[in-house]
A and B are shown apart, each in its own frame.
Chain A
Amino acid sequence: MRQATWMWLLALLPVFACTGCVGLGIAPRLAKRSIHQAASNMELHYEQVLYDLAMIADEPTSLPVYAPTYAGTPAVTDNAQIGSNTVLQHFVPANIFEGFAQESMNPQLQRQDVENWSVDPIIVPEKLEAIRAACQWVIYGPERATRDHPGLLFNPDDFPPEDRERHFNVADRMSALPQSWLRYERRLHPPRGAAYAAHFGDMWAWVTPEGVQGLADFTLVIQNIARVDINSLTLFSIGMRTSSFSFLTLDKEQPKGQVEATVYVDPLLFLTPDNPYFRWRIEGTATNASLRTQISTAGLR
């Protein structure tokens, strides 16, 4: 009898486990999952940055990898069902087993937790070079960082209007980073006492709790580079605009009436293109990130 009671209790356990009365309701569960997922985003940024720093510490010319998270979808799905199976039997000729044979009950409970992140990797070369230069600044110092691309991290207003390169204007922030916040070395095992750590091969990069301030500030720099629209005019040196210039010309030989020509000129009256040259790039060719995560959560792709 005692064993039968335990059996009943076991059968009812899943029923209670997934009800709101024990604090495992679907809505509180979703809230909890959302908080956990959102909290992991910060660590994801930190560890991406540390991974890039380890990569540059291993080989300064490496191309970093960085993929900002654009959208995430936590979802919780509960499913409860109960089935019953009754067996009645009839024998010819009749015997003592005639009639009811057995009854079975099949309760079933299911919970699905789904979480996802949608990431858009950085693919434009200027951003990759800028992230590499920022990492080089931290590991090897500003001189090494500005050797290959002198103006990449500096203010675009400091360059002449003829300059058509992109300038990410993060040098001031880089200069303001605390000293010695990052540690890196080749080692076989993870460092002890590290708040955050990442490795590329046997090269480890980590920060202690005191260095988190520097890591956070540097993450802001990398996010600044990664999330700015690559075609934003804030990255370019903006010079004096061109002016339209109209003048009349006439055909003496075969009069066609009055011909007015309009061209664009610079202040010295040199004919110039009406729009200055920019290397417009494609970025974020992907579909809408929020929609993408929802489709993925629904299992449609």
Chain B
Amino acid sequence: MRRVIFPLIAALACTGCLSVSLKNHTERQIHSLAKYREQATLECLAVVADNPANLPPFANLADGVTQIQDTLSLSATTLFARSASAFGFSQQAIQPLVSRSPKVQWNLAPVADYTQLEALRCACRWVVYGPDEACDECAGILSDPQTDLSPGPHFGVAARLEKLPHGWLHISKGHIPPVGDRCRAHFGDTWVWVLPEDMPYLNEFMLVLLDISTLNIGQANQNPTETPRVLVHLTVTQKTEDTPHIYDLSPASVSDYKLANDLQRMVKGKVLVFGLSAAEIQRLRLSLNAPFVLSEEDYVALVEQNLDPKPDRKEIARVVAELARQPQAFNLETYRGARSALLQAGIAEADVKTILAKMEDPSNPVRIVFGRRAEYLEHLKKLLPAMAAVTRERVADVAQFSASLYSVFNFSRVSGLADAGLNPEQIRLLRADRNLDLPFVGTPDQFVNKLLDVLGENRGNVALVSLLQKVAAAARTPIVFTYSKELSFEQERLLRPEYREYIRDMIQAAVPGKPVEISWEQWMVMTTPFHGARSNVRPDGSVTTPVTTPVRPATLRITPLPDLLGPPRPRMETLQELPGP
């Protein structure tokens, strides 16, 4: 019986040493690192010694797991059987099982980047064949990236390799080296080995391979094998007017009535209405009766050629060009004297009432239209279906305006009216007017006049006009087209090292207040395109977003000393006021 119980007790007791066993196995696994590194290094050397073209198979040990599993199992079988003479207990069997399963594992991180593989091969060639045979077409791959400005990767291990003496590695073909199992490796029939007294050099060469294989290539913002780059950020700013626009001066775009009667330009802060002569209109129709894609200056010059010789013909040509430019601007509200303008255009009184009622209807959301004249006529057709086509044409003429002359005024967004100098009653009147809740399109003077109307005043009240001009300035927003007035093109470029000094000299030689004398063509010669950092495939499958804008260091922000110290303490006037010890 004791024979059965004792093994059970022993099995139970053995489970207590699991942690000790785990510790011992972990230690042995960690100790195996040295052997692995040594053998891996010698294998690489043997592979390259066998054939200098071979790529060395180097892999780092990324991580490891040591695991011990103890199993204690007890099973019993009790048998009751029937025999010829009796029935009852027959036999009892017990099967104890004790097992221990240690498991150790390493995960390998093989070197896969092509530049690293190339550098590993060059480093092995340096040792096997000498420095002169280290590189074929990759000169400088082992040199320091901070000093070697040549293109291509530089791993910065040449200084380590130069410390290694010649002849510490022994190579033989065909026969097994005279050393023992330690410090030797072979690839095919090529053997390499290291004598015990040369082990320090093998250790140093291991560091070279580790140095190459652990550089963060392809995942960092800065590739450590690249020479530090000097970048220049070039911003080319061009005015939009320099870019081509579509100009259409055909009758379908700008009517004869508009050209003859309703051109507008700003003279001394006032909008002046004028018209072209019939001869001028005829010449324009003959020469510019189709859409042109030209820059503003070129089109203005074309218009100018067809105008009568007058001192201000260039300004007039610019007004005509602005009306012809697509998209055109249309608006019709009472602020512009629309009623009188519509009447002057020959529209019947009844129709004018209908048109103004529609235009000022708050339920009509479309007040300003940017587009072609034909589109605006379609809009009017939906708004005024009963109106004659010729009448709608005339309404479009009155509604078309030069966008550069007008601004949008949002009175509802202006705050601080009291601070501007308005009294409470004036503020109440202005805030109570529902019409001022809508954006107002016009000149600043027209907006001031509208405010004066609401207040029941006139321009004779100079002080009030001055206050309202401030309000108008606060409410004003220039009419924004769908494109910017300026275009800004930016690019990062890599400065060639040989031009750094030249650029510095040019900057220092520049006349204060004047641009540095570097032309665009010179920039293109002195720089190369910047492609950003090359990114490698990531083992976790995540995606690296390519960027061509370098990640720059954040600006250092220093908290001012007074903020750190807090408010000053009150000055102690007498010794008695000082705190005691």
Contacts and interface: CB of A to CB of B under 8 A. Distances in A.
Interface in A245-259: 245, 247-254, 256-259
A111 B523 contact: no
B80 A102 contact: yes
B71 A7 contact: no
Q: Which of A108, A110, A280 has the most CB of B within 10 A?
A: A280
A220 B203 CA distance: 25
Nearest to B83: A97
A37 B25 CA distance: 13
21 contacts: A37-B19, A63-B37, A101-B82, A105-B76, A106-B76, A108-B76, A109-B73, A113-B71, A116-B65, A124-B214, A251-B521, A253-B519, A254-B521, A261-B235, A262-B235, A276-B228, A277-B146, A279-B224, A281-B216, A284-B63, A296-B67
Contacts of A276: 228
Q: Sort chain B's interface into a size bin.
A: 35 or more
B69 A262 contact: no
A105 B231 CA distance: 83
| A6, A63, A292: residue with the most chain B Cβ atoms closer than 10 Å | A63
Contacts of A272: 230
Contact of A33 (B19, B80, B87, B238): B19
Contacts of B23: 40, 43-44, 47
A105 B518 contact: no
B30 A67 contact: yes
B203 A62 contact: yes
Interface of A: 4, 6-8, 10-11, 13-14, 17, 33, 36-37, 39-40, 43-44, 47-48, 51, 55, 59, 61-63, 65-67, 69-70, 96-97, 100-121, 123-125, 128-129, 164, 231, 241-242, 244-245, 247-254, 256-264, 269-287, 289, 292-293, 296-297, 301
A296 B107 CA distance: 13
A109 B95 CA distance: 10
B179 interface: no
Given A48-B27, A269-B508, A119 B519 contact: no
Given A62-B203, A110-B74, 10 more contacts: A8-B78, A14-B75, A39-B19, A107-B75, A116-B103, A123-B210, A249-B518, A259-B235, A277-B228, A281-B216
B30 A66 contact: yes
A281 B103 CA distance: 30
Contact of A271 (B4, B105, B238, B503): B503
B68 A116 contact: yes
A61 B22 contact: no
Most chain B CB within a 10 A radius of its CB, from A115, A251, A285: A115
A249 to B, nearest CB: 4
A145 to B, nearest CB: 15
A129 B105 CA distance: 26
Nearest to B12: A17
Interface stretch (B134-142, B167-175, B551-559, B565-573): B551-559
Contacts of B26: 44, 69, 117, 119
A65 B77 contact: no
B8 A13 contact: yes
Contacts of B211: 125
B525 interface: no
B504 A248 contact: no
Contacts of A256: 236, 238, 520
A271 B200 contact: no
B495 to A, nearest CB: 7
Interface of B: 1, 4, 8, 12, 15-16, 18-20, 22-23, 26-27, 29-31, 33-34, 37, 60-82, 84, 87, 89-90, 92, 94, 103, 105, 107, 109, 145-146, 156, 199-200, 203-204, 206-207, 210-211, 213-216, 219-222, 224, 228-239, 242, 495, 500, 503-504, 507-508, 510, 515-521, 523, 539, 550-553, 556
A111 B72 CA distance: 5
A59 B200 contact: yes
A262 B232 contact: yes
Contact of B4 (A10, A110, A113): A10
A72 B257 CA distance: 90
A285 B230 contact: no
A111 B214 CA distance: 43
Given A61-B199, A128-B210, A115 B75 contact: no
Given A65-B34, A249-B518, A249-B523, A264 B230 contact: yes
B487 to A, nearest CB: 8
A259 B146 CA distance: 31
A113 B70 contact: yes
A247 B510 CA distance: 10
A150 B49 CA distance: 34
Nearest to A111: B72
Given A40-B23, A121-B64, A241 B553 contact: yes
8 closest A-B pairs by beta carbon, nearest first, are A286-B63, A116-B67, A61-B200, A14-B74, A7-B92, A36-B19, A273-B228, A102-B81
Nearest to A256: B520
A119 B32 CA distance: 13
B174 to A, nearest CB: 31
Given A253-B521, A271-B495, A296-B67, A109 B75 contact: yes
A76 B79 CA distance: 32
B476 to A, nearest CB: 27
Nearest to A247: B516
A111 to B, nearest CB: 5
B214 A283 contact: yes
Given A69-B26, A260-B235, A285-B109, A254 B520 contact: yes
A287 B63 CA distance: 8
B62 A285 contact: yes
